[in-house]
Amino acid sequence: MQQLIPAFGFGLITASILAIAAVGFTLQFSVTNILNLAYGDIMTACAFAAYLANHAGVNIWISLVVGALFGAVFSMLLNRLVYFGFVRRGTRLFGMIIVTIAVSLIIQNLLLAIFRPTFFTYEASQGPSYQLGSMVFTASQLAIMGIAVVAMVCVHLLLTQTQLGKAMRATATNPGLARSCGIPTDQVIDAAWLVSGALCGIAGVALVLNTATFSETTGAAFLVPIIASAVLGGIGQPYGAMLGALTIGIAGETAAALMSPAYKDVVAFVILIVVLLVRPQGILSEIAAAKEVAA
Amino acid sequence: GSSTQGAKPKTYTGTLTFASFNPFTGPDASFGPEMAAGCIPAANTINQAGGVLGHQVQCIAVDTRGDPADAVPAAQKMIASTENLVGMNGPSSDEALATVPIIDRAHLPMFADSGQAAFDKSTYKYFYRLTPPDDAAGVAMAIYAYNKGYRRGAAVFGNDLSSQGNVPNLLTAFAKLGGQIVINQTLTLDQSSYRTEVTALVAASPDVIFTEADPQTDAAYLSQLQQLHGLIPVIGTQPTVQPPWIKAVGGAVGRDALSKNFAAAQPFSTSQGPAWDVYNKALLAAGSEVPQPDQWSQDPYTETDYDAIIIMALAMLEAKTPDPSFYNALIPAVVGNATGATEVHSFKEGMDAIAAGKKINYVGAGGPIAFDEYQNSTGAFELIGYSTNGSNPQLAVVSAEDIAKLRR
Amino acid sequence: MEAQPKPILAVSDVRRDYGGLKAVDGASFSAMQGRITGLIGPNGAGKSTLIGIIGGQIKPNAGSITFDGRDITGLAPHKIAGRGMVRTFQLSAEFTKLTVLENLLVAAPDQKGESLLGAELSRLYWGRNEAANVDAARDVLDRFEMTPKEDELAGNLSGGQKRLLEIMRALMTKPTMLLLDEPFAGVNPTLARQIEQYLLDLRDEGLSMIMVEHELAVVERLCEPVVVMAQGKVISEGSMRDVSARKEVLDAYLVG
Amino acid sequence: MTDAMQFYISTLLIYLFIDIMGVLGLNLQFGVAGIINFAYIVFVGVGAYTAAVVSLGPDYPGNFQHYMFGASWPFPLPILAGGVAAGLLSLVVGVISLRRLRSDYQAMVMLVLSLIATLVASNATGLVNGPAGLATIPQPLYDQLGLNPLEYQWVYAGWCLFLTVLVFLFVRAITRSPLGRTLRAMRDNERAASAVGKNVTLLRLVIFVVGGVIAGISGAVFAEFIQAWSPGSWLYPETFVFLAAVLVGGAANNWGVILGTLLVPVGFLEATRFLPPIFYQGFIEAMQWVCVGLLILLFLWFRPNGIFPEKPGRFKPRATAQSRPAE
Amino acid sequence: MPTSSADETGRPPAYLQVDDLAAGYGASVIVNGASAGVGHGEIVTIVGPNGAGKSTFLKAIVGMIPALSGKVRLGEEDVTNMKANNLAKRGLGYVPQVNDVFETLSVLDNLAIGGYLLSRPGAARRMEAVLETFPALKTMLKRTASKLSGGERKMLAIARVLMLEPRLLVLDEPTSNLSAELSRMLLEEHVRRLGKGGTALLIVEQKALAALTISDWAYVMAAGTMKVSSAAKDLLARKDIGEVFLGRSTEGPNVQRASGGIC
Ligand SMILES: Nc1ncnc2c1ncn2[C@@H]1O[C@H](COP(=O)(O)OP(=O)(O)OP(=O)(O)O)[C@@H](O)[C@H]1O
Ligand SMILES: Nc1ncnc2c1ncn2[C@@H]1O[C@H](COP(=O)(O)OP(=O)(O)OP(=O)(O)O)[C@@H](O)[C@H]1O
Ligand SMILES: [Mg+2]
Ligand SMILES: [Mg+2]
């Protein structure tokens, strides 16, 4: 029982990473209507980019920026060169899921072919530990949580306060109409992929900082909790994704403390299903509900 | 395929092929390269000696993906479409139960490295095993830990098949010895955080951790233990001395910390003696085909995979044909003949001895071999440590008899 | 309209809120057997919401609906349709990847091949029934001048053609009562005239209808009586000639 | 043909037939009724496990594997049991998830469900022997038939073909009937379907269960063939292989689906096995998967709606003779 | 090719000029060789039966679907197949027949998107003006567009396009779903006022009588081409056209009735 509070703290760390990732994921879906199941693998690719920088002697936090930049550019190019082409050819939501899975296969196995089947570690120290009540955090964990909060606020401001944010949502709903309102939708979509790709990159590097080692499958293994968080919060809702990430992260760790750790994910996912039965559109659901009426 | 002893052996033209039938992708992807690293040097020494009965030999890799459903067609295809396939290493535990019957039916001698207890009393005629069952490792770990004075053990194993195989015997053996397993954790693989598990572990205050999980899982687990509490002694299994594990965990907790706290049980091989010298030389010379060959120098599985190829080749010489239906029965005849037989340590020596009309006893790179009635050859275990210079010092040897006493 | 008309649908004190907004705010009226009841009112008056409530798509917060002597409040849409009351949608809701003919056939009632068992029994079992439905569908297509579009995907129709499909599909269900939500919006006036005549014929054969329509000339031609809604309430009922003279009606329209 | 070649080819055929069955069931759910079942492989798995435990005999202490519900039912009961068990699970899952959830949420929930199922099967060791899975599943009628292994293999291939044809006819009867049309209508516009009197919840549930039963049967036949079944055989990505087959072949088109199966799970994977071995061990395996990914992309690029797209009106209703348009 | 073409003298010089346009979907060519022109301050209406290709014609002009052949000129510039967002920059506003609002966005955000090309203060100013035109929208600014009634939705769509004060306004059936009073106001007050202000207006309408009454010029489209091009008042007077395209049957109520208010 006295493990509960520390477990809550650990949940916060997982939740922070999950939140960054889930917000990026949900943003991609809400703006481009693509459920990008290659997201986890792009996270891994970003982790590798940061790894290369890190092992070239760059400080880990700057490497994180490298990872974020790589994620941004890579995601944007992926959309331009692959995804958007399929969308233009009339591939719809579930066709696109298969496209993203094919891309996921390709990325993951190219990484495997390039870096070979082994494991990688960053040159980074966790820094001093801090005791908050009975929760313990290392400096880098606190930094990850800080990054998560800042990223969330930025995304919120972007979506609600800027023209770009509105343009993104308009493009998502009705691209043709958006163009006829003067919105350069191609650029807006690029911007959306840049932003979500950067989040993906940050999440990838943060994930590896947390797990200590990584390989070509690290990101993919994290994908289902990301999706669960996004769905729990109501797909397309950045705040919802944050809430979802908190729920999944903390529920998992506390379940591990209270019952068997083997069922950590099971418990988190069962919560997801139960919540959806009560609130079929996720926790925050205005946009989602609107989409349904439109459908 | 009919194979009655009365029939004539098949005639072969061209190169003979040995397969490494093992996972090269998937969670157990490290098995395949480890095995191929044994086959290739063996083939090279055979070819340097002029080949088998005038045939050159070669190795191919067949990926089972570590999944029975993928392994079945892979096996069928390997058998169907590989020219002059005369023997193989594998399968591993992951796919053995589904594929051993198929391979046996195809009359293909296989030197499995499946540790599954189901094969302890195998009656398949073409099945051989030079390595001990998985669960023997658990006993060896328990004995070593107890002898080191540890009394409060924590079992921390991944939820995968090969890891869990160790657990039952570890638990009973450690208890029989008088120790106590204070916590038994089954880890879900590849989670980003094991902190709650670690907290539970620390709360149980063990003085030693027994573990086997995939590299990433153990790396995350142990590094989070290090952050939250500090490392405590760790006893692992053979997979935990594989390069990927060492790389991952060493990278995560620091190689110094690893060398201070770590030991692993693996099948005992002297990794010395004349046969090993031949093996090691051939291995290091295979640099172009085997990346970083020195990592396998002391690997007992690679050594026995090498031995398996040599044994099959020698049996062909005895049978005067590479046809498995004929030479299979002679496999036990080239090893374990303690009295009166000429001890040989390489294919060349064996070939010369057979040519001279002598009975031979091949003593392998992994040590002496003696098959029991189920064509299993099990031996002792050793405990090895890890040092930052990359060598793995031997810490202790646990005899086969001691293990047999405590196995369920 | 010689015989005493008999009420077939009674809506009493129906309410529906969205947040603070009272979309339908205590509406009551009844529709007569074999009549086309007009439902008019300014934009946002609550007409479509009321149609949705009657049709079962929207659950009312309060009130009750009786159809053909039975309470149908809160019943699932397919059950209401099963009782013979079928609606059309204001924004067309076609089956996009089905052809026009298939769109109509889907709506045919009591299809033999629509159960799992029936389907497995093959065409031998349901073929005859199907052929009859095809006849009926072709007949409707003909009346709506849509025969050339029979094999076109419904998703590829023009705006007006989709509106026609809405009406045709509803008719295919052989309803006893039709709820038409702005059936003629976007339909070419000449064609609309022909359809009006067809609807009148159906009415004379006993089909009851409620029709939401903004084009008052159409309402005047077809509807008797007319129910006027504004701000969620029924503010007036009577013949078109009567209600159009009333002050509250005029006011409501000017506000809207 | 050598015996070995015959073994190989018959194995491939058996895999093909079983995959076709599975994919037909999925297509019924996805292509026709629009239900995105990312947990499809779970129903295959349940069928396989059920067939395994009811033919393995009762569990006993000291057995090398442990499981529940052990029995020794004779052929063909294990296969039927596999279908029934998967159908029952579909019913439960369907009742919970199909009623209120929007399709993309449904899809994600199914994905999560797939993961839960593997976690439970791996961790609850007493259920179906945990991560080790079940082995030594008896092949049906092997002893009774008294055939040699190769003959048996061909008989088994014939048996699978027979079942596949049955499933095909069953599925085709649905897709070509008014029921199939109603299902497609529901997929296109649920609101409108219910407004013309279709009970969409029931329809969806029925088709979900029918698809589940087919999945279960295919799993049962599969497990009885490879005689082993473990959590590694039904990880969630397997569903995507099936789904890729549906989309590459052409959703809602049964022939397209068969072609898709021929290409994706069988063709792509087998064809890429023939890549020459270069570089290091494992490289080529990785490149195989890259090729599979590329092939899927290429097919979807050039045939966005599948090789055989859904043809509306292909099922062209017949009118009675006298009603043909007079013109 | 118009079958009957009236004397075009007296029309203002065309601001939008469409020549021999062909457009369609995939393999099927729907519009084939249709031409039309609109000058500044001119109200031009296209009428025609359902499925004639009116919407397709408009979509090709505003860049929603590609023009297969023919030419679209805006002012002095050739804008054939120009991207819609660049057309918007040139002052083209378009209200489609369906999918005319951003359903997931609030009414306010819909209007903001309508003013995407404006500066912030400019947008605020326009927002006020537009809301004056459609006061009903004022009470529902926070509501998601998908939750509007049919007529409110159409109002929003038109309000959105007015945000930009377009120089060329293309409206596809603007009055469908609007109440009779609102339709009348839209056509007789707002559209007229815009026309007087110099905006070029191209309108497709099924309420042909009402639309033609306020129009300067009219085209009748059928089977993908312009069958008639004439001054609106001439068209109104033509008996044959009236019966075929305008739904005016001899015994029907008079023009005033159909297009008028409640009484
Ligand atoms: N889902 C909803 N959420 C919030 N408000 C809604 C919703 N649906 C409708 N409304 C509001 O309820 C009121 C009534 O809408 P309704 O669609 O019934 O109007 P109507 O009479 O059909 O109007 P119109 O003639 O414009 O179609 C409108 O103000 C509308 O904005
Ligand atoms: N997306 C599409 N794909 C294929 N064909 C289409 C598509 N949209 C419309 N069509 C076809 O093009 C023809 C003309 O359609 P269009 O929408 O231009 O007609 P319209 O004149 O606007 O009719 P309405 O008055 O009914 O709106 C119709 O026959 C229709 O079937
Ligand atoms: Mg309405
Ligand atoms: Mg149109």
B220 closest CB neighbour out of A120, A211, A254:
A211
Dihedral sign computed on CA atoms, order B267, B270, B272, B278: negative
Q: Cβ B73–D12 below 8 Å, yes or no? A: yes
Helices of type H across D28-60: 40-56
The residue type of A260 is S
Pocket of ligand 2 contains residue E51 by CB under 6 Å:
yes
What is the average pLDDT across B243-259? 87
Instruction: Name the pLDDT band for E253 (thresholds 50, 70, 90).
Output: very low
SS (H, E, C) chain C: CCCCCCEEEEEEEEEEEECCEEEEEEEEEEEECCCEEEEECCCCCCHHHHHHHHHCCCCCCEEEEEECCEECCCCCHHHHHHCCEEECCCCCCCCCCCEHHHHHHHHCCCCHHHCHHHHHCHHHHHHHHHHHHHHHHHHHHHHCCCHHHCCCEHHHCCHHHHHHHHHHHHHHCCCCEEEEECCCCCCCHHHHHHHHHHHHHHHHCCCEEEEECCCHHHHHHHCCCEEEEECCEEEEEECHHHHCCCHHHHHHHHHC
The sheet that has E67-74: what strands, in order across it?
Answer: E28-39, E14-25, E67-74, E77-78
Q: Which of A143, A134, A96 is nearest to A3 (CA)?
A: A134
pLDDT tens, residue by residue, A41-51: 999 999 999 99
Two tokens, residue A249: 């992260």
**What φ, ψ does residue B269 adopt, rounded to 5°?**
-135, 140
What is the average pLDDT across D149-178? 91
| Residue A2, pLDDT score | 65
| Residue D170, pLDDT score | 92
Note whether B191 contacts A: Cβ–Cβ < 8 A: yes
Q: What is the DSSP letter of B392?
A: -
Instruction: Answer with the residue of higher pLDDT: D235 or A3.
Output: D235
Q: Whose CA is nearest to atom 4 of ligand 2?
A: C156
Per-residue pLDDT for D277 more than 60? no
| Residues B17, B13: Cα–Cα separation, whole Å | 11
Q: Which atom of ligand 1 is nearest the CA belonging to E150?
A: 27
E136 closest CB neighbour out of C43, C158, C185:
C43
Provide the domain count of chain A: 1
Instruction: Name the pLDDT band for D151 (thresholds 50, 70, 90).
Output: confident
Q: Which residues of A touch B (CB under 8 A)?
A: 3, 6-7, 10, 13-14, 17, 112, 117-121, 126, 129, 136, 138, 207, 210-215, 217-218, 221-222, 253-254, 256-257, 260-262, 264-265
Residue of A nearest to B202 (CA): A3
CATH number, domain with residue A266 = 1.10.3470
Per-residue pLDDT for D327 more than 50? no
Pocket of ligand 1 contains residue C23 by CB under 6 Å:
yes
Residue of B nearest to D266 (CA): B73
Q: Cβ A180–E164 below 8 Å, yes or no? A: no
The enclosing H or E element of A214 equals strand A213-214
Per-domain residue ranges of chain E: 14-99+166-256
Q: What is the DSSP letter of B386?
A: -
| Residue A156, pLDDT score | 83
Instruction: Name the pLDDT band for B324 (thresholds 50, 70, 90).
Output: very high
* Residues in contact with A281: Cβ distance below 8 Å, sequence separation at least 6, in sequence order: A234, A288, A289, A292, D102, D105
pLDDT tens, residue by residue, A155-206: 888 887 888 888 888 888 888 899 989 899 899 999 999 999 999 999 999 9
What is the average pLDDT across B106-114? 89
pLDDT tens, residue by residue, D96-130: 888 777 777 788 888 888 888 988 888 777 788 87
Instruction: Name the pLDDT band for A119 (thresholds 50, 70, 90).
Output: confident
What is the average pLDDT across C13-23? 87
E246 closest CB neighbour out of C48, C157, C189:
C189
Q: CA D112 → CA D45, D237, E42, E258, distances in Å?
A: 16, 12, 60, 58
Instruction: Name the pLDDT band for D81 (thresholds 50, 70, 90).
Output: very high
CATH 3.40.50.300 fits E14-99+166-256, yes or no: yes
**Taking a C-beta distance cutoff of 8 angstroms, is the pair C64, C236 a contact?**
no
Q: Measured in angstroms, how far is the CA atom of residue C211 from the centroid of ligand 2?
A: 26
Q: Cβ E63–A167 below 8 Å, yes or no? A: no
The residue type of C144 is F
Which residues in chain A are contacts of B159 at CB distance < 8 A?
262
Binding-face residues of C in 100-119 toward E, CB within 8 A:
none
* Residues in contact with B314: Cβ distance below 8 Å, sequence separation at least 6, in sequence order: B334, B344, B347, B350, B351, B354, B360, B362
| Torsional class of D129: left (φ above 0), alpha (ψ -120 to 50), beta (otherwise) | left
Residue of A nearest to D103 (CA): A292
Q: Cβ C106–D196 below 8 Å, yes or no? A: yes
Share of residues in chain A with pLDDT > 90 (%): 31
pLDDT tens, residue by residue, B355-388: 998 889 998 888 888 888 888 877 788 888 888 8
- Give domain status of residue A295, yes or no: no
Per-domain residue ranges of chain C: 7-94+175-255, 97-156
CATH topology of domain C7-94+175-255: Rossmann fold (3.40.50)
Q: At what angle do helices A185-211 and A139-161 cross, to 10 degrees?
A: 160
**Taking a C-beta distance cutoff of 8 angstroms, is the pair C97, D312 a contact?**
yes
pLDDT tens, residue by residue, E169-213: 899 988 888 888 888 888 888 888 888 888 888 999 888 888 888
Instruction: Answer with the residue of higher pLDDT: E12 or C203.
Output: C203
Q: How many residues does chain D have?
A: 327
What is the average pLDDT across C227-236? 86
Mutate to test the interface with C, among E30, E50, E221 (most CBs of C within 10 A): E50
Average pLDDT, chain A: 85
Residue of C nearest to E99 (CA): C91
